[in-house]
Amino acid sequence: MTQTTVKQTLVSQTVADHSPATQRVEHSDVLVVGAGPAGLMAADVLSAAGHHVLLAEAKPSPARKFLMAGKSGLNLTKNEALEPFLHAYAPVHPVLQQALEDFGPQEAIAWAEALGQEMFTGSSGRVFPKAMKASPLLRAWLGRLAEQGVDLRRNWRMEALGERVGFATPQGSVEVVAKVVILALGGASWARLGSNGVWVEMVQDYVELRPFAPSNVGVTLAWSGHMARHFGHPVKGVHLRSGAYESSGEFVISERGLEGGGIYSVTRGLRDGAPLVLDLLPDWSAGKLEQRLTQRKPKETLTKFLKRALRLSPEKIALLMEFAGPQPDDLAASLKALEITGLEMRPMDEAISTAGGVRFESLTDSLESRKKQGLFFAGEMLDWDAPTGGYLLTACLATGRRAAQGALMSLA
């Protein structure tokens, strides 16, 4: 080989080694983007029907938010009659209502048990796996999907949405051509777990969107010094109200403010600008309270009286003093309707879920885009809202199933 030939060969190899990778194109019956509960459910239904499903997940592992929720026991659903269950989503869009009627609390329980997970209902009606973790359920679910031939691709981040769907992958750019596409990309909270809402620009040509807003989120308060000893303590036996939303759940006093299920249940009212009002004695009638207040001894301090006569906990007394003052003008009114002033809702990325997203009006009853045939949406991408307590997970599963059923009709 001549010196010139050797140089030409080396140059050719160098160019080949540094040239951009050829963009790969893959084909599938179904492309599901997002491997959270909604996307996994859609992949489950479609693969069980015999279709090849390519399931793309932007993170190294699927269902990260699902696993995080499971750290505190995985509250899968709420075991209650359908009417009060649906009321938790009020106002509930007819399409979401139909999805929940088809796959509600009893169906969610049966689904989990079919995956080998024994479930139990707690005293509040919330349903948990006996293992009290999400990981066994997820492992069983992923095992079933693998048996059904679902092709799970990790670290695949969607970058373009059109006739082909573009992804950035560890192996370079990939385009997927699919007969139907189901997007289950989550809302806009907990960005580190994958729900960051960056998909908005990619879908806005195909659907109408409502701006995101935080839901199921704590509130921030600037406490006075005397509250520090109550940080981390729960407040129980309180009725909370904000606008049209009410709750009897407990909450926790934290260094930053208030958080917990009771607060989360009324954040829809707070988001609308309604005040947060607490009834510290929800089991007491106004008449009974007024009668008891007359029994205060002449030299008895208010704190001692509240402990003795009303059995108020230290946390309730502290809240009363913080927001009504050490000598309330109308003690009875303050005890039954204590307004928490000066609060601010915490930022979106601290919220458990988000309101807003893809509006149902821009979708068919099958959750298919009215502007782009074969494009379906599911899960927290959709514009619905509900408190914690099993409602969030059940709706994600139900809408994933409904989108998959729509995709089946489209494929047929």
pLDDT tens by residue, 60-100: 999 998 998 878 789 999 999 999 999 999 899 999 999 99
Which pLDDT band holds residue 22 (cuts at 50, 70, 90)?
Answer: low
Note the CATH number of domain 24-214+351-411: 3.50.50.60
Average pLDDT, the chain: 93
pLDDT of residue 73: 86
Q: How many CB atoms lie within 10 A of CB 314?
A: 13
Could you report the per-residue pLDDT of 113-163, keeping only the tens digit for each?
999 999 999 989 999 999 999 999 999 999 999 999 999 999 999 999 999
Per-residue pLDDT averaged across 108-114, rounded? 98
Instruction: Check whether 309 has a pLDDT greater than 50.
Output: yes
What lies within 8 Å, CB to CB, of 77 at 6+ separation is 104, 105, 108, 109, 126, 127, 390, 391, 393, 394
pLDDT of residue 192: 79
Which two tokens mark 245?
Answer: 């939303």
pLDDT of residue 249: 86
Could you report the per-residue pLDDT of 206-216, keeping only the tens digit for each?
999 999 999 99
Helix, strand or coil, per DSSP, at residue 265: coil
Please state the pTM of the whole predicted model: 0.90
Radius of gyration of the chain (CA): 27
> How many CA within 13 A on the CB side of residue 322?
23
pLDDT of residue 1: 44
Instruction: Check whether 112 has a pLDDT greater than 90.
Output: yes
What lies within 8 Å, CB to CB, of 80 at 6+ separation is 105, 125
Look at 16-25, 42-51, 152-161, 229-238 and tell me which has the smallest mean pLDDT: 16-25
Domain spans in the chain, listed from the N-terminal domain onward: 24-214+351-411, 219-345
Distance CA 78, CA 85 (A): 7
| 225: enclosing H helix or E strand | none
What lies within 8 Å, CB to CB, of 4 at 6+ separation is none
